[in-house]
Structure 1
Amino acid sequence: MSEQRRNARLRALLGARACYNQRRVTVDCVVRNISEGGALLVVSDAVALPASFELEITQRRRSFNAQVRWRSGTRVGVSFETQAADDSAGPAQAADMASRLRIAERDNTRLRNRIDQLTEAG
């Protein structure tokens, strides 16, 4: 088999989830290697994956629109769709960003209160 990838893939062992059917169906999988353009997934039942789906990698806090390029047993090669800079984030990314923003705002308020306490005491 000849190499057709544009970017070299890095070895990985990351838990992931393939989501499709408007996020009503999820399939757990493992990312074995990854690059900017795609990944190798190991799935218990590769046949259950549709031709395109959303791949969530929780450890990296990333989500990709994935296209199946090949299947072999439990192994699935996918490529990631590139999104234009002006595309809006998907629902999972928006919820994740909102959650992270709330945490940052709470931490900011706590730190400001602590600074006020220290400047009043000193």
Structure 2
Amino acid sequence: MNEQRDVPRRRVLKGGKIVINDGFSAFDCIVRNVSDSGARVKVPSIVGIPDQFRLSMNDGREFACTVVWKTENELGVTFS
């Protein structure tokens, strides 16, 4: 498989939350890899997760995200 990203991602295993509705709703997630421009996020299900949201990682970092690809339980996002 060829790498199509401009910036390589680092493997991580960090907890976090996908935050929507101005902070009134959140989904638990696990960040599996990350770079300066995006991440791969694992979730129990993508049902109810919009194409734009805020990713709040347990280490205190937060990112505005746009979904680039998705499977049944993973999302590829870019940081905006």
TM-score, length-normalised on structure 1? 0.62
Shift of 1:73: 1.3
Aligned AA for 1:63? E
Alpha-carbon distance in 1 for matches of 2:47, 2:4? 23
Shift of 1:47: 2.4
Secondary structure of 1:70's aligned partner: strand
Once the two structures are superposed, what CA deviation does each residue of 1:58-111 show, in whole Å capped at 9, x if it has no partner? 22x110000000011101100001xxxxxxxxxxxxxxxxxxxxxxxxxxxxxx
Aligned AA for 1:44? P
Partner residue, 2:9: 9
Bigger helix fraction: 1
Alpha-carbon distance in 1 for matches of 2:55, 2:69? 16
Consecutive unaligned residues in structure 2, runs of 5 or more: none
Shift of 1:5: 1.1
Secondary structure of 1:22's aligned partner: helix
Alpha-carbon distance in 2 for matches of 1:67, 1:19? 12
Q: Matches of residues 33-44 of structure 1 in structure 2 within 5 Å?
A: 33-44=33-44
Aligned AA for 2:30? V
Partner residue, 1:86: none
TM-score, length-normalised on structure 2? 0.93
Aligned AA for 2:75? V
RMSD of Structure 2 on Structure 1 (CA)? 1.2
> Which segments of structure 1 move beyond 6 Å, counting only runs of 4 or more?
none
Aligned AA for 1:7? V
Consecutive unaligned residues in structure 1, runs of 5 or more: 82-122
Bigger strand fraction: 2
Q: Whose radius of gyration is greater, 1 or 2?
A: 1
Shift of 1:4: 2.5
Alpha-carbon distance in 1 for matches of 2:49, 2:2? 25
Q: What is the percentage of aligned positions where both structures have the same residue?
A: 36
Aligned residues: 80
1:52 corresponds to 2:52: yes
Higher relative contact order (CA 8 A, sep 6+): 2
Aligned AA for 1:13? L
